[in-house]
Amino acid sequence: MIYQNIKGKSVTNFTEIIDTVHNSIEANYSAKSAMEIALYDIFVQNLKLPLYKFLGGKKKKFKTGITISLNDTHIMIRDSVEAINRGFDSLKIKLGEDYKEEIYKVKSIYKAVGKDISLKLDANQGWSEDECIRFLNSLEKDKIPIELIEQPIEKGNIEGLKYIKERTSIPILADESVFSPKDAIEILEKQAVDFINIKLDKCGGISKALLIADICKLYGVKCMIGCMLEGSISVSAAVHVASSRNDTITMIDLDAPVLYENYPIQVGVRFNESNIEITDTCGLGIRA
């Protein structure tokens, strides 16, 4: 394969091609991710390999959690119970700005779903440090088992995340604070969080996601792999990444494909409620 990079120079090396995508424009991470996914797919199809094998992966079966969207407490309880009845045993509960109301909400959901369901919380940058600490302390006092809290405060406030981490036993997951590998290094150097959430559309695609996972491994920090409201093609690429970095990416949050009523494109990963399985089709196995 021969391509021309932005300066008109011919490039034949796959790494150079990927670099060209990233050097062509600032930010635009979702577009870059889409480009990368297409390029990896073509490249790996030519090698007659599924993507996960090309990336060095072995694991083919995964369990994903599901997100419970922000709503009134009684609706979120209903949605949580429905998700459990569909076979999910890990819920990511979205939380609103009023931390006091959200304490009641989380306790009510816990009461409804019981102790065997893993509860992850996501406050989407909604609180101050002190609000977050008060929220977490209240749950700790009542012994509500929370697996982690995701991005409770504003993304640029890394010192604030560290401040919270030092004052709670509930692990902190960085989402919006980590877009790039550079962001990952900065937050890991400061030991400000317990986990990092990797998303292909956030970091710019497969190559950057792999790099963030490898950086986290160096620091001994585990990762979640998540997604936006994306189509099955990009979510399937994230599953292949998860397979290849199975020792570091220990939490799978790839529920978008089970939220569609129907999706016209087939991919080489089966999404069946909480169960995800890679099949051995070449590349990403995309079929219209």
- Just list the catalytic residues: 94, 199
Which of 41, 122, 147, 255: binder of Mg ion (CB under 5 A)? 122
C-beta closer to Mg ion: residue 60 or 155: 155
Stretch binding Mg ion (CB under 5 A), from 44-52, 87-95, 169-177, 232-240:
169-177
Rounded to whole angstroms, how far apart are CA atoms 226 and 228? 7
CA 236 to chain centre: 12
CB of 38 to Mg ion, least distance (A): 26
Question: How many chain residues touch Mg ion (CB under 5 A)?
Answer: 3
Of 151, 87, 95, 158, nearest in space to 125 by CA: 151
Is there binding between residue 230 and Mg ion (CB under 5 A)? no
Nearer to Mg ion, 95 or 233 (CB): 95
Please choose, out of 11-19, 27-35, 122-130, 260-268, the segment that lies near Mg ion by the rule CB under 5 A.
122-130
Q: Give 122 or 147: the residue with its C-beta nearer to Mg ion.
A: 122
Ordered alpha helix ranges (H), 92-157: 99-113, 129-141
- Other CB atoms within 10 A of residue 34 CB: 20
Dihedral-angle region of residue 28 (phi above 0 means left; psi in -120 to 50 means alpha; beta otherwise): left
Shortest distance, CB of residue 112 to Mg ion, whole angstroms? 23
Q: Which residue in the shown chain puts its C-beta closest to Mg ion?
A: 175
Question: Per DSSP, which regions of the chain are E strands?
Answer: 3-4, 10-11, 61-63, 66-68, 90-94, 118-122, 148-150, 172-174, 195-199, 222-226, 249-253, 269-272, 275-278
Q: How far is the CB of 121 from Mg ion (least distance, A)?
A: 10
Which of 175, 230, 253, 255 contacts Mg ion by CB under 5 A?
175
Site string for Mg ion, 138-167 (x = CB under 5 A): ------------x-----------------
C-alpha distance across the termini of the chain, in Å: 24
Which residue(s) pair with 149 in the sheet?
121, 172
Q: How far is CA 50 from the centre of its chain?
A: 21
Q: Of 71-79, 137-145, 170-178, 184-192, which segment contacts Mg ion by CB under 5 A?
A: 170-178
Q: Rounded to the nearest whole angstrom, what is the least distance from the CB of residue 109 to Mg ion in the complex?
A: 18
Q: Which is nearer to Mg ion, 36 or 175 (CB)?
A: 175
- Choose among 213, 214, 252, 195: nearest CA to 61: 252
Using CB under 5 A as the criterion, what x/- string covers residues 190-229 for binding Mg ion?
----------------------------------------
Nearer to Mg ion, 150 or 230 (CB): 150
Task: Pick between residue 36 and residue 150 the one whose CB is nearest to Mg ion.
Answer: 150
Smallest distance from Mg ion to CB 253, Å: 9
Shortest distance in whole angstroms from residue 142 CB to Mg ion = 24
Nearest C-alpha neighbor of 199 from the set 188, 187, 183, 186: 183
Q: Which two tokens stand for residue 99?
A: 């931390």
Question: Are the C-beta atoms of residues 177 and 187 closer than 8 Å to each other?
Answer: yes
Q: Which spans of this chain sit near Mg ion (rule: CB under 5 A)?
A: 122, 150, 175
